Amino acid sequence: MTGRGAAKAAPLLDVRGLKVHFSVGNTVVRAVDGVDIRVERGECVGIVGESGSGKSTLMRAVTGLLPNVAVTELSGEILFKGSDLRTLSGRDMRRMRGEDGFSMVFQDPLGYLNPTMRIGRQVAEALPPNLSRAEAKRRMYELLREAGLPDPEFVAKRYPHELSGGMRQRVAIAIALSASPALLVADEPTTALDATVQLQVLDTLKKLYRERRMALIIITHDLGLVAELCDRVYVMCRGRVVETADTVTLFDAPTNAYTARLIALSRRDGRAAGTEALA
């Protein structure tokens, strides 16, 4: 049961031997220590692991969105549509964030939205600059609707702090979709939300995945989410990938003891509670 659209063509994203090391105080933290990841067009891949496993750092390094910390090592290959992202110039990299490129959604939507700018403007900002104002507005509303917000005119005029957590997360998704990416990375998209809202956002993601046929990478420690959404899974522990398989195989017959433990924990505590046990 490989992901849909998995041709024998080159994968959309091909990460080889990625290492990301930070210096914290006097020590070096090996956040990502030699990781290989592969994602085909239209696939939905999950990256799971506990906090500190490096899953977030991995994708941030891939998308070039690491926070301002002292990086002592960043090596390996990051091939996106054939080009190594590490060798790209600033301008070319920015182009990769545009049409048919990649995009990322983060865990804490409040911190990731500009508090002094209206939502509409923040969403429209990511649209191609050559659109007319009317067209941009129309597209912006469309994006908000697609992200699961039924009243885009209302939302567009608001400021981030006026919206609920679930709405903000959907705004973040709308922003990420605005450039029509080929790959969307979602870092803990449901963790900061209430249970009911989690389901809603999950449905939105599912719908997007089906309708847009874009590749999706879900970073989470919620195995239930992965089971619902993903075709394939990578399991990370302490900066390394310890196991990878398609979802069904992974859950039925994990080959790695760590994976087995994760699955057992999540099963025992039920889907909703599993998040806390693994965090």
Which residues are near other proteins by CB under 8 A? 22-25, 63-70, 90, 93-98, 101, 103-104, 106, 108, 111-117, 122, 125-126, 159, 161-162, 172, 175-176, 178-179
CB of 172 to other proteins, least distance (A): 7
CB of 187 to other proteins, least distance (A): 11
In three-state secondary structure terms, 191 is coil
User: 163 is written with which tokens?
Assistant: 């919206």
Distance between CA atoms of 220 and 203, rounded to whole angstroms? 16
**In the complex with other proteins, which residue's Cβ is closer, 88 or 265?**
88
User: 212 is written with which tokens?
Assistant: 């847009």
Distances (CA, A) of 50 to 58, 244, 250: 14, 15, 17
CB of 115 to other proteins, least distance (A): 6
- Given a contact cutoff of 8 angstroms between Cβ atoms, the answer to whether 36 and 13 are in contact is no
Q: Strands, E, within the chain: which ranges? A: 13-24, 27-39, 44-48, 71-80, 83-84, 102-105, 183-187, 215-220, 232-237, 240-246
Distance between CA atoms of 120 and 137, rounded to whole angstroms? 8
CB of 79 to other proteins, least distance (A): 19
**In the complex with other proteins, which residue's Cβ is closer, 119 or 278?**
119
CB of 27 to other proteins, least distance (A): 10
**In the complex with other proteins, which residue's Cβ is closer, 25 or 82?**
25
Say which DSSP state 1 is in: -
CB of 188 to other proteins, least distance (A): 13
Task: Name, in order, each residue with C-beta under 8 angstroms of 40's C-beta and a sequence gap of 6 or more.
Answer: 2, 3, 5, 6, 7, 11, 12, 215
